[in-house]
């Protein structure tokens, strides 16, 4: 049964907003990225999502396709964003089967809790390769198609009217807020996300003259996501919710709505920006919810019972 629209998209946006557009998404089977893609498909886009797990990626693609009759959503597993050739082959197939790439979401990521003492060199390298190199590979493989799309869909500089065919030539990198103040047990991810932010800023400057926009969405704590379940012990969840400035966790719909904003005409003059969607969460103590800081570190304990934690770091 299809998800109710209210779970992944607000009523703000008109149907058909992205008709005849194609979105390419890495990490597309994940909780957040699948909601982003689902919203775009609901509003008319076709989609190509990639991931490591074949069965999961194909299953999520089929599920996303149920949001709109006639939607074309392809899910391709066994794609490693750390390998440019693997990713580029997926891009070639996307263009061959769906005709173009107008929007890109670079969302593949790796994460787990670990102090620097507990974090091996290989574990640190793995996160950097998935997040930073993976984002760069995604950009390199798709940017020729984004430039082509941008040329077809530029906003008229005199009338400020968008192309009759709508928008195109836009990329969003999914980042985080961990590096704004520093976050214990997340040093590996914080370094990676800072690199992604820098990459997006450079893309905005180098490809802006060609009509391409590049932005970052930085989610805060989002309810019912793999990331939150992995990083936040159950006994800490109530405490974290109470500490939020808006008194609640975010939802995947919040991220999906931000995505539509940046890809629609509303985002035509928004580039080189970091759109933080966290309800002001990052402005409170960065140690909240990470564990009993600093006692956890002083005790010499290691993370053992967090859902999804890697067995060896």
- Nearest CA to 222 among 188, 257, 270, 187? 257
Q: Map residue 281 onto helix, strand or coil.
A: helix
Handedness of CA 227, 271, 89, 192 (dihedral sign): negative
Active site residue 193: yes
Count of beta carbons in the 10 Å neighbourhood of residue 202 = 12
Q: Strand order of the sheet with strand 22-26? A: 73-76, 46-50, 22-26, 103-106, 170-174, 213-219, 273-277
Q: From the candidates 149, 175, 268, 281, give the one annotated as an active-site residue.
A: 175
Q: Would you give the DSSP letter of residue 177?
A: S
Residue 22 backbone dihedrals phi, psi, to 5 degrees:
-130, 130
Q: From the candidates 21, 115, 193, 200, give the one annotated as an active-site residue.
A: 193
C-alpha gyration radius of the chain: 19
Active site residue 175: yes
Count of beta carbons in the 10 Å neighbourhood of residue 144 = 12
The residues annotated as belonging to the active site are 175, 193
């Amino acid at each position: 049964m299809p998800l109710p629209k209210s779970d992944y998209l607000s009523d703000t946006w008109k149907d058909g907003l992205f008709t005849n557009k194609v979105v390419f998404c890495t990490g597309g089977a994940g909780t957040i990225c699948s909601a982003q893609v689902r919203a775009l498909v609901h509003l008319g886009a076709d989609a190509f999502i990639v991931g490591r797990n074949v069965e999961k990626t194909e299953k999520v693609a089929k599920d996303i396709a149920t949001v709109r009759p006639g939607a074309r959503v392809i899910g391709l597993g066994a794609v490693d964003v750390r390998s440019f050739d693997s990713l580029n082959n997926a891009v070639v197939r996307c263009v061959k089967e769906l005709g173009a790439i107008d929007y890109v979401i670079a969302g593949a990521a790796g994460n787990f809790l670990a102090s620097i003492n507990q974090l091996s060199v290989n574990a640190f390298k793995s996160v950097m390769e998935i997040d930073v190199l993976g984002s760069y590979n995604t950009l390199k493989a798709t940017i020729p198609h984004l430039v082509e799309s941008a040329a077809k869909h530029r906003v008229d500089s005199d009338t400020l009217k968008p192309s009759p065919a709508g928008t195109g030539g836009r990329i969003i990198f999914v980042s985080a807020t961990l590096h704004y103040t520093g976050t214990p047990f997340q040093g590996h991810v914080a370094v990676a996300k800072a690199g992604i932010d820098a990459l997006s800023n450079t893309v905005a400057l180098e490809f802006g003259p060609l009509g391409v926009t590049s932005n970052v969405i930085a989610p805060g704590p989002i309810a019912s996501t793999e990331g939150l379940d992995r990083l936040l012990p159950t006994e800490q969840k109530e405490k974290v919710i109470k500490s939020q400035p808006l008194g609640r966790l975010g939802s995947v719909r919040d991220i999906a709505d931000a995505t539509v904003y940046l890809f629609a005409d509303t985002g035509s003059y928004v580039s080189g920006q970091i759109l933080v969607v966290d309800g002001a969460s990052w402005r409170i103590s960065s140690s909240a919810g990470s564990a009993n800081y600093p006692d956890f570190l002083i005790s010499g304990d290691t993370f053992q019972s967090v859902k999804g934690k890697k067995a060896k770091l």
